[in-house]
Structure 1
C-alpha cells in the first residue's frame, strides 16, 4: 500500500516562510507571530501531474471551506483509489506518487474545500469496505455508479464514461463488437463493471446458440491486458478511456474499440450517512465545473468527452 501525504499542517511562523515559496493558506495570506491557531497550507501538485498548473491555481472557496466537515479540517481528506488504471490513475516515475485524472480531481476538491489530502492505493475490492469503516472519506477510482453499489455508498458522479476493448494491432481475431466474442477468450478486472459486461456478452452468445465467451478474471488491469499481449486472450474488456490511452503507446501494439451504448456515470463514493461530506464534495465539484477548472483538468488528460454538466448524486440507473 502506498500513501502520499499531499499537504501539510503548518503554524504561524512556518506558514509565512512557505507562503513565500508558493504554498497557499486557506485565507490566502500569511499568519503573524500572534496567531492563535495554525492555518492549513496547500502544497503544490506533483510536477509530473499533467494538470499541475490547473490544480496549483485553484483557491479555496471560503463558503464551502466553512461548511466542510470538522474531520476534514483537522485530519484532511482521506481518499482511496486503485493506482494503475491510466489515464485515470497511475504512479509518477518515482513509483509512489499518484497522478492521473482521479488524483487530480481529488486534489482539486481538497483545494476548493481548503483542506489537505491523503491518497492511498488499495486493491479495488477493498475500497468500499474502507469507506464504510471510516478509514477513508471517499473512493475515486473509475467506479461505475450503479444501483447495486448505491446500496452501499452514495455517489457524486464526476464523469460519464463508456466501455471498450483492446485487441492486438491489426485485429487478427477480427473482433469488432460483442457478437465477435462468442467462442473467444477475453480478460477482465475481477468484480468490476467490465466483468459484468463480459458476462452479459457470454449470456447473449449462449442465448443465440453460439459458443460461450471464456472469461479470464484478474485483480488488476495490467494483468488482464497482459493476456492479450501474450496471446492467451483475444481481447480485454475495459473502460474506453483506458483502451484509448493504451492504444496510443506504440510499444503495446494494440488497438482500441469503443463499445457503443455502454456509457454510464462514474462516481465518487461516500458513506451514505455522511451527509455533510457528500454535500461538501458535491458543492466543490459544482464549483470546479462552473469555474471551468474541471474542464481544464479533463483537457490536461485528453478526457474532454467525459465531461458532465453538473454534479449529480446517485445518477446511475
Structure 2
C-alpha cells in the first residue's frame, strides 16, 4: 500500500478518535507524505462558568479551523482582558480562573476554531499595546469600538451595550436621568467613558443655566460605587450591565438606571494587519450566533439585551 494512503488512513482514524473524546487534530499539510499534526485537546470551561455546559459542547468548525493562522494553531489563542468587571469579567472562587461573559465567549471562539486558549489579566491601558506588539492575539475586555481606537486596532463587534447609573436603594435623591444630576455629586472612573458622560452632562447643566455637577474621580469602579453607598455621591455612572449586576445583589442596596441613547458596540480588538485572524474570529462569532450558542452564553449571564445579529468589523463611530 502506498505510503501516502497509509498516512491518509492514519489521519482519518485520528480524526475519528479525537472527535469521540472532544479533542481535535489539526489538519496535516496538503500533499506529499506529511505526517498528521499533533492532537489538540480543547479547553474545558470551569464549573463556576455559568455557560460551561454550552461552551464544553462546542465542537470545531472544520472550514474555519483550516484557515486559522499557523502561529495560533501552534501556540493557541492568546487573549488579554481586565478581570474585575462583573458580569463581563470576574474571578472564580479560586481567585485565578477567569469567568464571565468575555472569557466565556473567548473560550467558545477558541473551541470553534479548534485551538487552545489562554487568558492573561492586564490593566486596561496595557491591552492595546500588548496586541500591537504581538504578545496577545486579541483583547476582549468590555472595550468600546470607537474611531479613536480603530486608528490603532481592528474590532470584531460582539455585543452592543449602553451606560447606566447606580443610586442608593429607594433613590432618595430622585435621580431618573441626566437632567436630575445638575447640582449633585457624581462619582466616576477616571479617564473612562463614564467620565466623558459626566463631563457632557455637566456642560449641559451649565448651558441650561443650572448648577454644575460635582464630579468625583476614582481609579476603579468599586471605589466609585462606594461613594454612593456611603452617601458621598448621589449617583455613579458606569456600564449598565455592570450596574444591573450590582443592583441584583441585595447586600449592596443600590438601584440601576439605564441611560438611554448611550448604546455602542463593544469589540474584540486585533492587530489591523493580522487579516487572517480577524477573518477567523469574525467567522467563529458568526458561526456561534447562527448556531444559537452565542445566545445561550449571553442568557447564562442574563445579558440577552446585549445581543448582536452578526459579527461586524469596526462598526463603532
Q: Same fold (TM over 0.5)?
A: yes
Deviation beyond 6 Å, 4+ runs, structure 1: 18-21
Distance in 2 separating the partners of 1:150 and 1:110: 24
Change (3 A) 1:21 1:215: farther
In structure 2, what is the equivalent of residue 64 of structure 1?
A: 64
Structure 1 segment 149-298 matched on structure 2, within 5 A: 149-298=149-298
Change (3 A) 1:310 1:193: same
Distance in 2 separating the partners of 1:173 and 1:269: 39
- Displacement of 1:201: 0.9
Given that residues 125 and 191 in structure 1 are in contact (C-alpha distance below 8 angstroms), is that contact kept between their aligned partners in structure 2?
A: no
In structure 2, what is the equivalent of residue 102 of structure 1?
A: 102
Distance in 1 separating the partners of 2:36 and 2:303: 44
In structure 2, what is the equivalent of residue 85 of structure 1?
A: 85
Given that residues 84 and 221 in structure 1 are in contact (C-alpha distance below 8 angstroms), is that contact kept between their aligned partners in structure 2?
A: no
Distance in 2 separating the partners of 1:212 and 1:94: 44
Per-residue Cα deviation, 1:134-174 (whole angstroms, up to 9, x for no partner): 11111111111111111111110001111110011011111
SS for the counterpart of 1:166 is strand
- Displacement of 1:304: 0.8
- Displacement of 1:180: 1.2
Given that residues 23 and 43 in structure 1 are in contact (C-alpha distance below 8 angstroms), is that contact kept between their aligned partners in structure 2?
A: no
In structure 2, what is the equivalent of residue 24 of structure 1?
A: 23
In structure 2, what is the equivalent of residue 42 of structure 1?
A: 42
- Displacement of 1:19: 6.5
- Displacement of 1:190: 2.5
Distance in 2 separating the partners of 1:271 and 1:103: 19
Given that residues 128 and 139 in structure 2 are in contact (C-alpha distance below 8 angstroms), is that contact kept between their aligned partners in structure 1?
A: yes
Per-residue Cα deviation, 1:41-90 (whole angstroms, up to 9, x for no partner): 11210110000000000001111111011111111111111111111111
- Displacement of 1:267: 0.7
Distance in 2 separating the partners of 1:26 and 1:209: 67
Q: CA RMSD in A?
A: 2.1
Change (3 A) 1:61 1:36: closer
Task: State the aligned residue count.
Answer: 297
Distance in 2 separating the partners of 1:60 and 1:21: 13
Q: Which runs of 5+ in 1 are unaligned?
A: 1-11, 29-34
Given that residues 43 and 117 in structure 2 are in contact (C-alpha distance below 8 angstroms), is that contact kept between their aligned partners in structure 1?
A: no
Distance in 2 separating the partners of 1:37 and 1:74: 10
Distance in 1 separating the partners of 2:21 and 2:230: 47
Per-residue Cα deviation, 1:253-283 (whole angstroms, up to 9, x for no partner): 0000011111111111111111111111101
SS for the counterpart of 2:260 is strand
Larger-Rg structure:
2
Deviates more, 1:215-224 or 1:54-63: 215-224
In structure 2, what is the equivalent of residue 32 of structure 1?
A: none
Distance in 1 separating the partners of 2:144 and 2:63: 30
| TM-score of the two chains, using structure 1 as the length reference | 0.89
Given that residues 26 and 73 in structure 2 are in contact (C-alpha distance below 8 angstroms), is that contact kept between their aligned partners in structure 1?
A: no
| TM-score of the two chains, using structure 2 as the length reference | 0.89
Distance in 2 separating the partners of 1:189 and 1:293: 33
Change (3 A) 1:21 1:313: closer
